[in-house]
Chains A and B, each alone.
Chain A
Amino acid sequence: MTRVAKAASISAFLAVVFILVPVLIIATGRTDLYYTLTSVALLSIASAGVWLTFFIGRINIGQGAYALMGGYVSAILVVNYGVSFWLTLPLAGLFCAAASILIGYPILRLRGVYFAMVTLVLTEVARLLALALPITNGAKGMVSIPLPGALSIFGVTIIPNFAGMQSPRLAFYLLAVTMMVLCFAAMYRLVNSRIGKLCQSLQQNEELASSIGVNIAYLRVIAYAISSFFGGVAGAIFAAISQSIYPSSFTVTDSINFMLNCFFGGLGYVFGPMLGTLVLYFGWDLLFQTGKFQLLIYSTLMIVLMLFLPNGLLSLGDLLRKRGSNNG
């Protein structure tokens, strides 16, 4: 893509998510869509983290653990210690990143299904810990978390108090979408810089990578920490929106869904997890009308798509381009 085309498509995307969508929602009165789209944005952030671990050649089914962890960190800080939500947001991410360094250092030596399974187990460990620890309040969870307050720096209010707003839904939507844009911009930059190539070198052959002097253990942990940071931030915003968090807020099912979003969008594409999340989430929602056949139709469509586009939805573009160049 040329520089101009790139700039144009980025501006178009920003215009759609920040202006067109809110305008359409206000015009049609479908404010319920805010919640759906906010969820998509947040889930795609968590999925982006999973995608990043795929990028270094690890199947990560443990993102639910970090989303849960992030949610609890933010909730506990806000409720028990009166910390501003805006401060807890980076803190939740950093806490998850730190935890993931401790956990990741030993388990990232595992490969293939072993890593996948250990991370799956990690999701369960997080849930059971949330049930067992005194500070997380057990199965009752943390409820009535106050809405985010105002954020002001040097007396200038940058973000108004959510509680005083007419429509905190719009505010949450904007928050989630902004975070999503930042997250994917960072991912895009990461993947297209030399770091991306280094990550790919891990994915393709770790032994060779270490023979050319790449500190593979360090790079793996860094990638995993970034991945978990995304998970924690997404979890923290989720807790703020629902004003509650329970041990069952993020479970194995969520961890698996994050992974599926990546597969579905396409493992070879940075924006795969975003598209995957959007389609799977909306698809599931739309199929709600089919009642008890919802899961059947959903899974059948998934299998069919997998048969025809095993490399993800975005591989369709590559296929068409190839066909076009063959004809031309």
Chain B
Amino acid sequence: MVDLLQVSGLTKRFGGLVAVNNVSFTVREKEILAVIGPNGAGKSTLFKLIASFLRPTSGEVLFKGERISDLAPHIAARKGIVRTFQETTIFKNMSVRENVIIAHHLRSKANLLGFFLGTKLAKADEQAFGTSADEILEFLGLSAISSEIAKNLPHGHLRALGIAIGLATNPTILLLDEPFAGMNHDETMKAVAMVRRLRERGLTVLLVEHDMPAVMKISDRIVVINFGEKIAEGTPAEIQSNAKVIEAYLGSEDEAIGL
């Protein structure tokens, strides 16, 4: 397997606080890699650094060997590294289908002027986006609610819509921000199955998560961070028996971790 994403020596300071300290790991093509850690471990900062939503203080992220750390988020997305958000981040006054169609932006062949004038290319784009959006909605089981206004959706559907938006950009690697947060057992199982199917579609998935049992079930490899530093990396089995990890989780007042 090929290394798709290399995180090397990534560090982020906010004033005197070191949120992420010298973290390095790699993500291989078509794997599901999870970053876990107790609350406040620096997961979400790390996530934003990888997605180019934050600039690192030092260190870098390489995607296919190219440095992407100082790029604007939309350029990173153009290169194929796309993030999802937690559920409230959607285009809330658009319908589900419109949300997914607009997210096809990167696939458009026509430019803004073309869309304004309604050129052939632009019309072909519109057509293609519609077809592709329907396919994505079908894939994620959202077809039945495609004309609902997004802000009226229940929680579970919002999460799926977030992933649908991510898929529409046609990413190489999809970064999922806590995809199982706030879900009950059944919902989590469904979401786990969905993430697996993403990989079957040929995607590489990096997820930042809290829910240990789900992560154990789904990941090929796991990176554990605590206090901004990487403390372990390995397969779920290796992580489960790692003394440092157990200590980190027991030491924190976190919820049951399923070890």
Partners in one complex: yes
Chain A residues in the interface with B (C-beta under 8 A): 189-190, 193-195, 197-198, 200-201, 204-205, 207-208, 210-217, 222
* Of listed A190, A212, A215, A222, residue having the most chain B CB within 10 A: A212
6 contacts between A and B (CB under 8 A): A200-B94, A210-B73, A211-B166, A213-B106, A213-B169, A215-B72
Given contact pairs A189-B116, A210-B73, A212-B168, A197 touches B98 in the complex (Cβ within 8 A): yes
Chain B residues closer than 8 Å to A207, beta-carbon distance: 53, 73, 85, 89
Q: Which one of B51, B112, B122, B165 lies within 8 Å of A222 (CB-CB)?
A: B112
For residue B13, CB closer than 8 A to chain A, the reply is no
B169→A200 contact, CB < 8 A: no
With a cutoff of 8 Å between Cβ atoms, the chain B residues found around residue A189 in the complex are 116, 118
* Number of residues of chain B lying within 8 A (CB) of chain A: 35
Contacts of A213 in B (CB 8 A): 74, 77-78, 82, 105-106, 169
Nearest neighbor of A204 in chain B, beta-carbon distance: B91
A193-B118 CB under 8 A given contacts A208-B91, A211-B73: yes
Q: Which residue of the partner chain, among B72, B94, B106, B125, contacts A212 with CB atoms under 8 Å? A: B106
Once the chains are docked, how many angstroms separate the CA of A300 from the CA of B34?
Answer: 60
Q: Chain A interface mostly helix, strand, loop or mixed?
A: helix
Q: Which of B91, B118, B126 contacts A201 (CB 8 A)?
A: B91
Is there an interface contact between B89 and A198, defined as CB atoms closer than 8 Å? no
User: Contact at A211–B93, with CB atoms within 8 Å?
Assistant: no
For residue B248, CB closer than 8 A to chain A, the reply is no
Interface 1/0 per residue, B57-92 and A, CB below 8 Å? 000000000000000111001100011110001111
B95-121 with Cβ < 8 A to chain A = 98, 101-103, 105-106, 108, 112, 115-116, 118
Chain B neighbourhood of A205, CB < 8 A: 89-92
Inter-subunit contact B105/A198 (CB<8 Å): yes
- CB within 8 Å for A195 and B93 given contacts A211-B83, A212-B105, A216-B74: no
| A204, A213, A215, most chain B CB atoms within 10 A | A213
Spell out B's residues near A (CB within 8 Å): 51, 53, 72-74, 77-78, 82-85, 89-94, 98, 101-103, 105-106, 108, 112, 115-116, 118, 122, 125-126, 165-166, 168-169
- Given A200-B94, A212-B169, A195 and B82 touching (CB < 8 A)? no
Which of A198, A211, A222 is the one whose CB lies under 8 Å from B77?
A: A211
Are B85 and A212 closer than 8 Å at their CB atoms? no
Q: Are A214 and B94 in contact (CB under 8 A)?
A: no
A201–B102 CB distance below 8 A: yes
Complex contacts, A215 vs chain B, CB 8 Å: 72, 74
Which A residues are CB-close (under 8 A) to B168?
A: 212
* Chain A hits for B116, CB < 8 A: 189-190, 193, 195
Q: How far is the CA of A189 from the CA of B118 in the complex (A)?
A: 9
Which of B72, B73, B90 has the most CB atoms of chain A within a 10 A radius of its CB? B73
Report the separation of the CA atoms of residues A201 and B98 in the bound assembly, to the nearest whole angstrom: 10
Complex Cα gap A217–B84 (Å)? 20
Tell me which residues across on chain B come within 8 A of A194, comparing CB atoms: 108, 115, 122, 125-126
